[in-house]
Chain A
Amino acid sequence: MDHLPTAAPFDLAKSKIMIVDDDRINIRILGGILRGEGYLLTEADSGEKALQVYAESLPDLVLLDVMMPGIDGFETCRRLNKNYGDQCAPVIFITAKSESDDVVEGLGAGGVDYLPKPFKAKEVIARIRSHLQNRALSEQRKQLVAQLSKANAAKNRFLGMAAHDLRNPLASIRGLSEFLREGAVGPLTPGQIDLINTIHSASQSMLDLVNELLDVATIEAGELKIHYGPHDLAELISKSVAMTNIEAAKKKTVVTFDTHGEAPILMLDGAKMTQVIDNLLSNAVKYSPPGSSVTATIQFDSTRGTYGFAVQDQGPGIPDGERDKLFKDFGRLSIQPTGGEKSTGLGLAICRKIVEAHGGTITAKNLTTHGCEFRVFLSANP
């Protein structure tokens, strides 16, 4: 991409470091090492003082002695973490070499590292640089994520508006071409009817695309609302099968539905689940060769105690290595519809989002014979 959001470059040399130690000599040694690196320093000689200096200077990193009169280093660290949460600067404990238990307790108290005494200048510099860098990178990441989610929200708003403004004119083009086709404004020659049919089907597929884009924009904006109600799953599937058979007949494909005697009443959003069923059925017809048979069945998962359904087709199956694209936005596979139908690459992504919004799962697998099977299972407790 050409226009990735950018964060301001960070300059570690101006980082603020707070040194907390009741031993003035330690502060002087560390101060000497760190000033040479261009860091800005603040000091405190007790835990209580450290909390106060921290609030005033908001350092990027804290060097904290463990053994101090008053509140000790661990407690100071806990309080800093409690007060500043995610924003808290990394705390490095200053420890004597033998205090390995202290190291463990220090890390437990929220410290990120420790510096053993006596100090080795190179080690001090390297460790501090590494933690300052971590902090700067994590800040940068937060900024980038915030920028990206803002950009994504703007994209969805734009997508929604653009798609919405395209709907009405497209619906008019489609409707007006129906008027022409019906001969409402005079008789037509076969050549004219052919052109009008082309206008009609082109505007129809553009409307389908725009509707799917609107669905995606709505879902991504977090506005997908599931309106639960009791629905007879077999009845929903029967209706979808009847609708799909009208289109399927053009390819001499037949869609059949076997309830296995099951007629579960499930809590779901009828309109949205119908969209999922329609999509899986029409995909099955779309990718199966003419004259195929597509089968829908009610399924019961006895281990989870949930109902669902499966759709089997006689198409080429999901090509190896393309499985992860299947349920993604615009995740078009290399296989093509067999009757010149259109694919936006959004249908299955929308299905997945609707099913997941129901707390359910959608999966696909290739059949050993021919074709593939899509399975949807709903949640037992929506």
Chain B
Amino acid sequence: MKFQGTILLVDDESHIRKYVGLILGQLGTPKIIEAANGAEGVDAYTRETPDLVLLDINMPIMDGIETLRKLKEINPDCVVVMLTSLANRQTVEQAIELGASNYIRKDTSKAEITKALTETISACFDCT
């Protein structure tokens, strides 16, 4: 998959950033920016204006919901996909109401995460 663009990956767990980052790399993502919490994520967004934000929900300092609110204030059209796990269903619903485009379960298999990220990227970028 070939596409131009930048993806911002916000998650406080470094192993998730590494894992999801590796999958994004395999999918041919040209530029990945990482942030370890919501506050860092908002800074990075303002600085780099990425095309897609992958946003964790449970984070210290600023959680995913608060971060999503801030990002939508900065740019109402920004594309945000939540990174979630099983127990966050209600929070995911809240995120969708606040304007998140979709969510990806990060506690599933590599094949399933890859599939979900492929779909997300296809929907967000012009791919060849």
Contact = CB atoms under 8 A, between A and B. Distances in A.
Contacts of B85: 164, 167-168
B15 A176 contact: yes
B19 interface: yes
B16 A160 contact: no
B87 interface: yes
B110 A178 contact: yes
Given A164-B85, A214-B86, A172 B16 contact: yes
Interface in B1-31: 13, 15-16, 18-19, 22-23, 26
B62 to A, nearest CB: 19
B38 to A, nearest CB: 17
A245 to B, nearest CB: 19
Interface residues on A, range: 10 to 19
Contact of A171 (B22, B23, B107): B107
Contacts of B13: 168-169, 172
A252 B89 CA distance: 40
Nearest to A204: B109
Contacts of B16: 168, 172
- What are the 10 tightest A-B residue pairs by CB atom distance, in nearest-first order? A172-B15, A175-B110, A172-B19, A171-B107, A167-B107, A178-B110, A175-B19, A164-B87, A179-B22, A176-B19
A184 interface: yes
Given A175-B113, A179-B110, A214-B86, 15 more contacts: A160-B87, A164-B86, A168-B13, A168-B15, A168-B85, A168-B107, A169-B13, A171-B19, A171-B106, A171-B109, A172-B15, A172-B16, A175-B23, A184-B26, A214-B87
Counting chain B residues whose Cβ lies within 8 A of the other chain, the interface size class is 10 to 19
Nearest to A211: B86
Contacts of B110: 174-175, 178-179
Contacts of A168: 13, 15-16, 85, 106-107
Given A169-B13, A184-B26, A176 B86 contact: no
Interface string B90-106: 00000000000000001
Contacts of B15: 168-169, 172-173, 176
Interface of B: 13, 15-16, 18-19, 22-23, 26, 85-87, 106-110, 113
Contact of A167 (B26, B86, B109): B86
Interface string A203-242: 0000000000010000000000000000000000000000
Contacts of B108: 171
Interface in A129-188: 160, 164, 167-169, 171-176, 178-179, 184
A169 B16 CA distance: 8
Nearest to B110: A175
A170 to B, nearest CB: 8
A176 B22 contact: yes
Contacts of B107: 167-168, 171
A169 B26 CA distance: 21
